[in-house]
Amino acid sequence: MFRPRVMSNRILLAALVVSLLAVASGCGNRPAGGGEGKDLRGKVFVSTSVTEQGKPRALVEGTSIELNFTDDGRLIARAGCNMMQGPVSLGDGKLTVSDLSSTAMGCPNPDLHKQDEWLMKLLGATPTWQLDGANLVVTGSDTEIVLGTEAPAVLEGGTWTVDSLVNGDAVSSVPGAVAATLAFMDGKVNVFTGCNSGSASYEVNGQTITFESLLHTDKACGPDETLVEKALLAALNGQVTYKIDRQKLSLTNTKGDGVHLKK
């Protein structure tokens, strides 16, 4: 009677070991989106593809979907115009945003409003998320957004486009979809005000840029172009403060006026 009992205990021990190995194996194969999202915090993701009902969804030209997971547990989202934000929970592979709010800036293109509303509806419907390598995949009922991590912008190289005008504490969108640009390279900035073009030399010292010898054409422009040109030229006058935040560049003169630009 004693030996069968020993054999029974050995069988139970073997079964327990197999069970523990199976649990350990299952934990190792857990989907990337099944955790609490610690790998997302402090990162900004930008869309590389958007599909809806299995077909590509075209975004408004020059825009992308941006998801910024802050270190303090919030999600800041943009679809090309207004900013949306709210506390976010990432448990169980679900992207849950509570109290999602949005700024109410007037967008120059009505399609931008529709795109904002589309993203806000998607985020409000608790989509799923998972990491596919370095990419973040967000999936709704009929929508999938694939986003890659954002490379930080640098001052030189590429073109900066004026995104908004700053007058003290007031920030306004660019009127009439005027496309004013700056391109910095090797101490020279090429300027297009949306109407006139020119260039200036510049020198960077810490968080300031000193512009000198600004020359530009002087042809007559429309009212929208004139407004943008005035703001841009004021931001290129002498010593200005600059700041790069992700893909945004701000230029602010000593009076507190200036422009915001994006790449």
Contacts of 56 (CB under 8 A, 6+ apart): 49, 50
Q: Determine the pLDDT at residue 6.
A: 44
Task: Give the integer Cα–Cα distance in Å for 96 and 90.
Answer: 6
Q: Are 260 and 252 in contact (CB under 8 A)?
A: no
HSE at residue 46, side-chain half, CA atoms within 13 A, is 11
In a structure prediction context, what are the per-residue pLDDT tens digits for the chain, which is 263 residues long?
Answer: 444 444 444 544 444 443 434 434 443 333 444 456 778 998 999 999 999 999 999 999 989 999 999 999 999 999 999 999 999 999 999 999 989 999 988 888 899 999 999 999 999 999 999 999 999 999 999 999 999 998 778 999 999 999 999 998 899 999 988 999 999 999 999 999 999 999 999 999 999 999 999 999 999 999 999 999 999 999 999 999 999 987 899 999 999 999 999 98
From the CB of residue 259, how many other CB atoms can be counted at a distance below 10 Å?
A: 27
H-type helices in the chain, by residue range? 2-28, 110-124, 223-235
Report d(CA 164, CA 239) in Å as an integer. Answer: 20
Q: Which domains does the chain have, with CATH numbers?
A: 34-149 (2.40.128.270), 160-262 (2.40.128.270)
Model pTM?
0.56
How far apart, in whole angstroms, are the C-alpha atoms of residue 127 and residue 139?
Answer: 5
Give the model's pLDDT for residue 172.
Answer: 92
Quote the tokens at residue 10. Answer: 């050995």
